[in-house]
């Protein structure tokens, strides 16, 4: 799937970049999950996004926290696929920037829209953002590419929704009577929209390349 032909002709393609950043993103998600659910480190719960009185850092740290293994494993699968595509095309810094901005943007919108007793966790907003970015930076107006994107997009949405549904096992009360948000459709849509905005802004930046 990482070799999907979504974009530029062979002769115009950028040289393949060395991919390291996505593995650090995955390791960070895994490390926080192990600390939270295996070793049950008490302070990890403070990284969740509590909508009633959120700390500023929780909008970021909640993107690395997950409700259970099914929730995490599905997100890691798509993070690897789409994060790798973004990193190969745009580089390590762009990957981290995309993950952070789409994840934080999704959590910010969730906080504004969802009930005050909700708790948000998960990388799903960032997953949708990276999916959108990986598609838009490579997509061309070829009906075969568009069909490919539609098929893959439907698959991504279905699997991420299934993973989010698995988090209902932890939908009981959290700190201060908060309830875990089991399926945060707002975060999914917001992450995708932030991804679209990022690509639009990048295309507005002047380039010295003769191909632009």
Active site (catalytic) residues? 124, 188
- What number of other Cβ atoms are within 10 A of residue 105's Cβ? 23
* 26 neighbors 95 (Cβ within 8 angstroms): no
Phi and psi for 15 in degrees, rounded to 5?
-60, 145
How deeply is 76 buried, as exposed, middle or buried, from its count of CB atoms within 10 A (0-12, 13-18, 19+)?
A: buried
């Amino acid at each position: 799937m990482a070799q999907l032909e979504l974009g530029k002709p062979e002769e115009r393609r950028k040289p393949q970049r060395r991919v390291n950043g996505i593995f650090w993103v995955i390791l960070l998600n895994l490390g926080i999950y192990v600390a939270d659910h295996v070793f049950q480190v008490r302070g990890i719960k403070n990284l969740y996004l509590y909508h009633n009185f959120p700390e500023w850092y929780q909008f970021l740290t909640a993107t690395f926290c997950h409700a259970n293994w099914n929730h995490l494993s599905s997100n890691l699968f798509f993070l690897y696929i789409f994060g790798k595509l973004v990193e190969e095309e745009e580089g390590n810094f762009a990957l981290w920037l995309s993950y952070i901005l789409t994840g934080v943007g999704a959590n910010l919108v969730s906080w504004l829209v969802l009930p005050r007793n909700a708790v948000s966790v998960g990388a799903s907003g960032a997953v949708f953002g990276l999916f959108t970015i990986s598609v838009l930076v490579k997509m061309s107006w070829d009906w075969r590419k568009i069909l490919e994107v539609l098929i893959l997009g439907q698959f991504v949405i279905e699997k991420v929704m299934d993973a989010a549904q698995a988090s209902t096992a932890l939908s009981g009360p959290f700190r201060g009577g908060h309830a875990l948000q089991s399926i945060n459709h707002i975060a999914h849509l917001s992450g995708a929209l932030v991804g679209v905005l990022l690509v639009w802004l990048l295309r507005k930046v002047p380039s010295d390349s003769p191909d632009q």
